Structure 1
Amino acid sequence: MRISSTLFFQTGLNSINAQQSDLMHLYQQVGSGQRMVTPADDPLAAAQAINISQAQTMNKRFADNREVANRNLGIEDNTLQSVTLLLQDLKTQLVSAGNGTMSDADRSTLSNVLSNARNNLLGLVNATDGSGQYLFSGAKGNTAAYQDVNGKIVYMGDAGQRKIQADQTRQIAGSDVGSDIFNRAAPGTTSYLTMASTTNGGSGVISTPMIMDTNGDDVGKTFNVVFAAGANPGEYLYTVTAKDPAGGADTVTTGTYIPGTTASLKLGDGVQANFSGTPAIGDEFVVEPASSSDYAAIKGGANTGGASIGSPSVSDYSKTRPGDVYDITFTGPDEYSVTISNPAYPPETLTNQKYVPGRENVLELPHGMQVKISGSPALNDEFTVQASAVKTDLNIFDTLDSIIDSLKQPHGSEQDKAAFQNTLATAMQRLDVNYNNVLTVRSSVGARMNELDALDANGAMRSLSFSSQLSKLEDLDYYTASAQLQLRTSALEAAALAFRKIQATSLFNMSN
């Protein structure tokens, strides 16, 4: 085979260029510290590195979100701590107000003290987070949570919670809705509250009701007590109307009361309250549960199965629609359908929904509603979920306004004193419920902060794992690279030496 001089030269040049290219690649690896200068160096590892880098970036984003959530919850906890201290002071002041030796001037001074505390509380409930958003106004962060409307402080936010994506599968509320803190009792509260009509003319005083039997049929209902003339002189007849929260028929009972004694008024099956003083004809008292659901459940009158329904609850306030009525019909022992009716929307029907007889089932209803049904229903058994006909509003500012106004009134008669005692008792009961609910929310805030700490720890471990994996895929082994660099340098020098040797070869010096 004959080899031309051009082939000699081209082969030598190609060899030098190849060695220089390999050496340049090594220089780039050593200079950058990266094993893969281009994806072509290791296509599979390059693809894996992209996925891991994306996961690491998302993990960092979640960590930033958790930092924001922790900051907001920290501000909320500090605010609620101030509210707690303020409520403790208010409760102490109300105990002082019950001192029978206080003069009208003393009570007027105390009303000014409570007015200042009310204004301080209004400032606290309208606190903002680090970005200027109101903490307790729900999803309406640009709107003050509580505002003065015609002399009455009302909640102006909404029921939506601002949730923060704290992890891939976990959202945590970064604040709480003001109406859930300052307008209601803690969920599960079973106590009762009393209120006397402002038109009462007698000196009757009602005490805090007692639940004698938690399984009583009337527990959870609102009671209206009205006094009338009795059959005998000096005797009063009282009528108790128990209002069904589901909008069903009211229950009416009667009893007699003799002034001068402290009598136990039987309000309903399982509930009673002590009463003292002398009422006037037509005097009215309201006894309502401290905690009542926004929605009520009604069992069909023709049901023949053994299924029972619990109190409905809202799983997502952002999806609720005022006016929704849910009719649940069992089309079989393990199947039910749901019909949603609302005057403002077209009707909806869900069929072939599954149910497990004999145990408690949580039925996830449309538009953010859920309800528990347990037992074994019969065919065509029906249940209805609708807005509650009776709802307890525990607006803390209404409570303060009522006692402040009452403290300003002079005590010229026994009727005035009784009216004040009833108002004071109502205010103390409601503030106790508000106080307990604030503590419950503070506990919830602390639990969320603990969860964020746990998620932070898991996120830090994931970040370390991602960094380790990326290091294995991308980082250069400097020992191997240094050895390869020396080897390629020697190879380049050898290629250059060989090229010079070939270059010196010609027909004119072959004889030498």
Structure 2
Amino acid sequence: MRLATITVFDAGITELQARQQRMQDAQQRLTSGKRVERASDDPTGAARAERALSAIGRVDANQRALEASRNGMTLAEGALGDANEILQQIREALVSAGNGTYSDAERNGLANKIEGLRAQLLSIANRADGGGGYLFSGQGAGNPPFLDTATGVVYSGSSGQIQTGNLDNFPLTVDGRQTWEQARSGNGSFVTSALPNSITAAPAKSWIDSGRVIDPAALTGDSYKISISGTGPTATYTVLDTTTGGVVKSGTYVPGKSLDFDGMSMTLTGVAADGDEFQVQPATSTLKVFDVLDNAVADLRKTNRTGTEVVQSNVLSLRDLDASMANLQNVRSQVGERLNNLDGTETRLAALKQYNEAEKSAAEDLDMTRAISDFQNQQTGYEAALKAYATVQRMSLFNYLNN
């Protein structure tokens, strides 16, 4: 078989170009540190790296949403802590107002103090989240969610909460209605209150405490009326179930002795008058913090009240305030639990991101030791091919004749 000189030269040039290209590719991989720079380098590895990169992008988005949620929940937890401190100051003022030696002017001074604290509490309920919204706006509101009107504070937000919308649905706001307007009334199971005397229409001469549950299984959820008949040692009481119309219990009225029926226990105190009446109703989740404060202030501003009236109103005001504080504390606990969940989720997201970064690195990153060795081999091969081509180039007939 005869080989032309041009054929040998072309073959040499082609081999040199191929070796040079492979050497350049090896050098470029060393420079970039990537084994897969184009999908054509390794289609399987490129797809694997792309999946990992997509997963890292999702984790980054979740981490940004998590930080936004953590900021909102941290601010809300701080606001609820501030609210609890103010309510504690209000409670101390109400306890002082129960002092029988206080004059109407002194109670009016305490009412002024509570009004000032109420204004601070309202500003906390309308606290901004730093992003153009409000912490307790629920599902969002362009204006402060709580409006102070002539008839009391009104919630103008929407129940619920704004969430980030990602797979984990991190909360960004707190439900303002649940926080400030949905405490359990009374002692959480039933509500006691005094009614005007059925004979004289005057306030009752005796008073009732907030009561307690002694047998949860015996609770009926009905409404009751307690009526006093007679005076002094001959006074008697009758407990009427106003839901069914039946008499539940009756007996001799003994001041300070607990009255137990249908799983409930309460105490009537004071020298009762003929016609004094009290009612017991099921508790509801409709107790509003600002209504409780407004009612307490209104009672403190009343003049010429009897000692019984002062005690009764104070007992009920403290009861409702304690229920409101318990509800705020419960919401604060929920917010704290959300923050704990965010911490746990952050750890999980960090681990997931680390895994996908390792997966992406395994799919496309270069083994530097192997790459350096490969480059050196390519360089040695190219130099050898270059020397060989130079030798072959001198083996033409014309070079032979010239020699």
Instruction: Please indicate the TM-score interval, normalised by the length of the shorter structure.
Output: 0.7 to 0.9
Moved more, 39-48 or 206-215: 206-215
Equivalent residues of 2:184, 2:285 under 8 A apart:
no
| 3-state SS of paired residue (1:105) | helix
1:185 CA displacement: 3.4
1:236 CA displacement: 6.3
1:262 CA displacement: 4.0
Name 1:372's counterpart in structure 2.
none
Q: Identity of counterpart residues, as a percentage?
A: 28
> In proportion to residue count, which structure has more helix?
2
> In proportion to residue count, which structure has more strand?
1
Equivalent residues of 1:227, 1:279 under 8 A apart:
no
Give the direction of change, closer, same or farther, for the CA distance of 1:230–1:237 in structure 2 (3 Å limit). Answer: farther
The one-character-per-residue Cα deviations of 1:310-337 (angstroms, maximum 9, x if unpaired) are xxxxxxxxxxxxxxxxxxxxxxxxxxxx
Give the direction of change, closer, same or farther, for the CA distance of 1:236–1:42 in structure 2 (3 Å limit). Answer: same
- Distance in 2, Cα, partners of 1:392 & 1:424: 21
Name 1:212's counterpart in structure 2.
214
Moved more, 401-410 or 272-281: 272-281
| 3-state SS of paired residue (1:193) | strand
Equivalent residues of 1:217, 1:270 under 8 A apart:
yes
The one-character-per-residue Cα deviations of 1:231-280 (angstroms, maximum 9, x if unpaired) are 9997566553455xxxxxx45426557778345445x5112322234667
1:420 CA displacement: 3.3
Q: Write out aligned runs for 1:159-308 (5 A).
A: 159-164=159-164, 168=167, 170-185=168-183, 190-197=188-195, 201-218=203-220, 221=221, 223-225=223-225, 227=227, 235=235, 238=238, 240-243=240-243, 250=244, 252-253=246-247, 261-262=255-256, 264-265=258-259, 268-277=261-270, 285-290=278-283
Number of residue pairs the alignment of both structures matches: 397
1:398 CA displacement: 0.7
1:47 CA displacement: 0.6
Name 2:329's counterpart in structure 1.
439
TM-align CA RMSD: 3.0
Name 2:352's counterpart in structure 1.
462
- Distance in 2, Cα, partners of 1:420 & 1:117: 21
- Distance in 2, Cα, partners of 1:201 & 1:107: 19
Equivalent residues of 1:288, 1:392 under 8 A apart:
no
Name 1:397's counterpart in structure 2.
290
Amino acid in structure 1 at the alignment position of 2:255:
T
Amino acid in structure 2 at the alignment position of 1:92:
E
- Distance in 2, Cα, partners of 1:134 & 1:50: 40
Give the direction of change, closer, same or farther, for the CA distance of 1:14–1:283 in structure 2 (3 Å limit). Answer: farther
| 3-state SS of paired residue (2:35) | coil
Name 1:98's counterpart in structure 2.
98
The one-character-per-residue Cα deviations of 1:420-445 (angstroms, maximum 9, x if unpaired) are 33222111111111112222222222
Equivalent residues of 1:241, 1:253 under 8 A apart:
yes
Give the direction of change, closer, same or farther, for the CA distance of 1:200–1:213 in structure 2 (3 Å limit). Answer: farther
1:94 CA displacement: 0.9
Q: Is 2:312 the counterpart of 1:422?
A: yes
| 3-state SS of paired residue (2:223) | strand
Equivalent residues of 2:34, 2:365 under 8 A apart:
yes
- Distance in 2, Cα, partners of 1:210 & 1:463: 53
Amino acid in structure 1 at the alignment position of 2:94:
L
| 3-state SS of paired residue (1:159) | coil
Equivalent residues of 1:164, 1:171 under 8 A apart:
yes
Name 1:11's counterpart in structure 2.
11
- Among residues 368, 373, 378, which one is paired with 1:483 in the alignment? 373
The one-character-per-residue Cα deviations of 1:101-127 (angstroms, maximum 9, x if unpaired) are 000110111100010011111111111
| 3-state SS of paired residue (1:225) | strand
Equivalent residues of 2:256, 2:267 under 8 A apart:
yes
1:32 CA displacement: 1.0
- Distance in 2, Cα, partners of 1:473 & 1:254: 79
Structure 2 unaligned spans of 5+: none
- Distance in 2, Cα, partners of 1:104 & 1:279: 24
Equivalent residues of 2:255, 2:271 under 8 A apart:
no
Q: Is 2:43 the counterpart of 1:43?
A: yes
| 3-state SS of paired residue (1:130) | coil
1:505 CA displacement: 3.1
| 3-state SS of paired residue (2:95) | helix
Give the direction of change, closer, same or farther, for the CA distance of 1:20–1:242 in structure 2 (3 Å limit). Answer: farther
- Among residues 390, 394, 406, which one is paired with 2:299 in the alignment? 406
- Distance in 1, Cα, partners of 2:277 & 2:171: 42
Name 1:122's counterpart in structure 2.
122
After TM superposition, the score normalised by the length of structure 2 is 0.87
Structure 1 unaligned spans of 5+: 244-249, 291-390
- Distance in 1, Cα, partners of 2:20 & 2:326: 78
Equivalent residues of 1:238, 1:257 under 8 A apart:
yes
Amino acid in structure 1 at the alignment position of 2:267:
N
1:200 CA displacement: 5.1
